[in-house]
Amino acid sequence: MSQENVELVRGAFAAFENGDLDRVRDLVNEDVTVYRADPDGATAHGLAGFLELTAEWTEGFEDWTTVPEAFTDAGDWVLVRVRQSARGGVSGVPLAEDWWFAFQIRGTRIARMSIYAREAEALEAVGLSE
């Protein structure tokens, strides 16, 4: 089942990148929990909550992109190293950072997504060590 979990998460990234929110909705639990460890420990629920956190996160930036670069199967979890890039809306300064997204899978849907700035925290969250 683990490879299926990785493919599920790959599909969710692709659907989000393509703006296919109907497909994203099909891949997540209705009450999916989204947790953003940094900078504020924010938690949201449902697809609407996810979209709200995303809008907050990207506010003030232009050309914001997320590129999933490495997927790690962790049983009921999938850990993804994601390269986020953007340009400051006012300053024009480019920035790029790696973030770690941890997806908990229940059945055939994403039940939880947690976002971490530090790899060690993400590994711990999915039950792995460095």
Sketch out the chain's domains with CATH numbers. 2-125 (3.10.450.50)
Q: How far is the C-alpha of 57 from the C-alpha of 42, rounded, in Å? A: 11
Q: How far is the C-alpha of 24 from the C-alpha of 20, rounded, in Å? A: 6
Neighbouring residues of 25: CB distance < 8 A, sequence distance ≥ 6: 47
Determine contact, residues 42/35, Cβ cutoff 8 Å.
yes
Res 57: pLDDT: 86
Count of CB atoms situated within 10 Å of the CB of 15: 18
Res 43: pLDDT: 96
- Pairing of β 77-88 and β 61-74: antiparallel
Res 1: pLDDT: 47
The one-digit pLDDT tens for each residue of the chain (130 residues) are 489 999 999 999 999 999 999 999 999 999 999 999 998 999 999 999 988 988 888 889 999 999 999 999 999 999 999 999 999 999 999 999 999 999 999 999 999 999 999 999 999 999 987 6
3-state DSSP percent of the chain in helix, strand and coil, to 5? 35, 45, 20
Res 130: pLDDT: 64
pTM of the model: 0.92
pLDDT tens for each residue of 47-57: 999 889 888 88
Nearest Cα residue to 36 out of 86, 92, 100: 100
Q: How far is the C-alpha of 56 from the C-alpha of 32, rounded, in Å? A: 18
